[in-house]
Structure 1
Amino acid sequence: MKTSDFYFDLPDELIAQVPIEDRSSSKLMVLDKNTGEIEHKIFKDVIEYLNPGDCLVLNNTRVIPARLIGEKVDTGGKIEFLLLKRTEEDTWQALVKPGKRAKVGTKFSFGEGKLIGEVVGLAEEGSRIIKFHYEGIFEQVLDELGNMPLPPYITARLEEKERYQTVYSKHNGSAAAPTAGLHFTEELLQKIKDKGVEIAFVTLHVGLGTFRPVKVDDVLNHEMHSEYYMVHKEAADKINTAKQNGNKVICVGTTSCRTVESACDEDGFVKETSGWTNIFIYPGYKFKVVDNLITNFHLPESTLIMLVSALVNKEAVLNAYDVAVKERYRFFSFGDAMIIK
């Protein structure tokens, strides 16, 4: 299976730079995974495809302001950190730019010394292990000094930080938003509950590895970065009840999908658990839990479009993407959505 099999042409002007004003008014493509048939709707119409007894699974991770701009303590040379994941108390794995300045033992200052980061080790793909020194509470210091880590394809300034958070975000830890969830409003979620749909919250702290391009020719040689996930008993019970009663489990986003597929046994029974997952879902994978998926439109040759192609089939997905381009759907993080029914 070749990475190039998942390529499609995408005009730059279709990459959404800013979120639309009303979260739930984005376009919604409806793709039938059995027939390949396509319909065009508005996102708030998603409720039509959710039935009483179904379980909607949402990732309630919260994006941290993980981008830090500072300077080298001894020379004043500029540096940028992008925090990827916490490895220990006050210790993080981070991308550092320019990396040549970040030798082990080097210290960097942020906010005129409010936060000091010391390089204490090297990690995969040129990232660094950083030990932070500060006074007070780390999250408060980071909130004061850090910036939202928007993906590189978004060049416009984000005027309101909360627009890169879901309305149900709760647990700090992500380097990127679970973007399929950005379309939901509190009002829409309430209507979904009132219809009799169960809502289950799981947590997966999204790392940037999710969005990185696949650099190998053979898909099977790609290695996913590990990400921390957590499933509480209440969520597991809701998902299992839906499955046992013959109802559907609908995941919002590829991160929710990978979480429940990581947290289940071979029979699709989801258990209360937490840990690290590097699950890689591509065509040929047999889903144990997920029936339907709500997702955004993804990068060509990405692990995300491979996951979507595993749930439907590659030909139907690439055809849907061609239609999306022709119909001027907006792509990526602040773009439009698709539900695979």
Structure 2
Amino acid sequence: MKLRSLFVTLALAFLLVLLAACGNAEGNDNGEESGNAEGGNSEENADSGGGTTEVLVDGSSTVFPIMEAVAEESQTENPDARVNIGTSGSGGGFEKFAAGETHISNASRPIKEEEKQAVEDAGIEYTEFEVALDGLSIVVNQENDWVDQLTIEELNKMWSVDGNVETWADVREGWPEEEIEFYSPGADSGTFDYFSEVVLGEEGQIRQDASLSEDDNVLVQGVTGSPNAIGYFGYAYYAENTDKLKAVPIVNDNGEAVTPSQETVQSGEYNPFSRPLFIYVKHEALQDESVYNFAKYTLENVGRAAEDVGYVAKPDSDYEQALQTLDEIAGQ
């Protein structure tokens, strides 16, 4: 009996110890899980910027270098700011703008009527701001030593689907009988639209064998890679590659052959390829502090940024007026 009593006593003691240990373990597990969850949520909230809106910008690859420079400066001064800039081309940018996917749309041409209609149909109110000037540049390879200038008529003949131009000799007598390689921005690009309107007219179509790309750096590489190539894009991409490319002087409406530069673009002497550059800002988005701050920072600094990357600034008074308009829209 004594042995049985001792066994029962020991068994009960062991059971009590086991139950106590399980209780402590459950308490510890619950405490640790609760603490980890709270800590994890706090870190996630900090990483997300406390609800900071990511400013979404898309559109023209020509305007991109300007807006990229502005965004980098803005984020240096405001580390919590988040700005995402795409390069879908002016047309592609307006499609995203109408779909409500962006707050700001960059464009190297004014918005078209059908694009206006799409934006209006989506119930989106917006304002257009001119941010800089550009000189669309016609470029050839550095080894090209025969093209001294081109007229709009010659460009039409070269780039038109009906121009029947295959070699440089087909453009002008005395030029080499070497096949020309053509490089152009893609059809969604505002630069493509502008060039087509000026050179080919409303009914004209670009030649089918031209290599098209929405990435201007691809066009630069194409022209630098062949002595018989020709292409066109915004002035900033030429200015970055003057050691590899030659800008072709274009005969203007006064009969003068003019090379693109900040001076000739600002004066309008480099015509018909001097043009304004734009951003389109969604009114409703300006109610968000992040979007408003970035739009304001852009208009305050875009002139300097434009010149830093090779474009031409507007007069200071134009930016001051734009800032007043922005504040009126935002209710500031």
TM-score (norm 1): 0.24
Decide which structure has the larger Cα Rg and report it: 2
TM-score (norm 2): 0.24
Write 1 or 2 for the structure with the bigger share of helix: 2
